[in-house]
A = this chain, B = another copy of it.
Amino acid sequence: MPEVVIMKEIKGRNEEYAEANRKKLAKDHVLMVNVMGAPGAGKTSFLMALCKELKARGIRSAIIEGDLYSSIDTDDFVKEGFYSLQINTVGECHIDANVVRQGYDKLGFSDGVVFVENVGNLICPAEFDLGEGLRIITASTPEGDDKPYKYVPMYSYVDAVVLTKCDLKDAVGFDTEYFTKGLRAVNDAPVFETSARSVESASGIGAIADLVEGEYKKI
């Protein structure tokens, strides 16, 4: 069984904690990546593929999993041999800087990339700076191509957009042009197309690994 930590946030001091995290991460030579997205956007499958790709490149990674309840995702990472820590927010709709720090300190990790899989939510996590170096949103094609028009704060907040389940584009009638137009209205972030179920549609993993590797090497 993986370690499960139940945590509640301390309200109102998030910026202070985020700043402390930034200093600690720099000292540890760690790139923290905040991975956000709606419930079922495919965050875990995407992270699994990305961590394997980084491992093949000789880059260490660890995963802090955020969920209201359960340790389903952490179980998957542990099965695959990755060190992963589960945070259960017991109802809280996001992870904040203090909560992620408690998880990070328990990891005892350095010289690599720590991915924070945030709680599945397209709204609240965009209000909480974790002190991270890179912010990624996973957007699944079945969610629909109109999401950047509706979830403006989140789509404005991120450094990169990972479009998941691209093998389903035709089946769900996803209009990439319409999606991109909505995104471009608020953000110049690059878009990476991926699919956990189809090798042909999964070319984006290598490209996003390049981005993560590049950011890591800047530290």
Q: Which of B120, B147, B153, B165 contacts A142 (CB 8 A)?
A: B165
* Interface residue A176 (Cβ < 8 Å from any Cβ of B): no
* Interface residue A128 (Cβ < 8 Å from any Cβ of B): no
* Interface residue A190 (Cβ < 8 Å from any Cβ of B): no
Which of A14-22, A68-76, A104-112 forms part of the interface with chain B? A68-76
* Interface residue A6 (Cβ < 8 Å from any Cβ of B): no
Q: Are A39 and B147 in contact (CB under 8 A)?
A: yes
List which A145-185 residues lie within 8 A (CB) of chain B.
Answer: 146-147, 149-153, 165, 168, 171-172
With CB as the reference atom, state the residue of chain B lying closest to A173: B197
A91 neighbours in B (Cβ, 8 Å): 123, 153
Q: Are A153 and B68 in contact (CB under 8 A)?
A: yes
17 contacts between A and B (CB under 8 A): A38-B38, A38-B40, A39-B143, A40-B142, A40-B143, A68-B151, A69-B152, A72-B146, A91-B123, A91-B153, A93-B93, A93-B123, A140-B142, A142-B142, A142-B143, A142-B165, A142-B168
Least distance between A196 CB and chain B CB atoms (Å): 10
A152 neighbours in B (Cβ, 8 Å): 68-69
Cα distance A143–B141 in the bound complex, in angstroms: 11
* Interface residue A144 (Cβ < 8 Å from any Cβ of B): yes
* Interface residue A67 (Cβ < 8 Å from any Cβ of B): yes
With CB as the reference atom, state the residue of chain B lying closest to A93: B123
Cα distance A40–B141 in the bound complex, in angstroms: 9
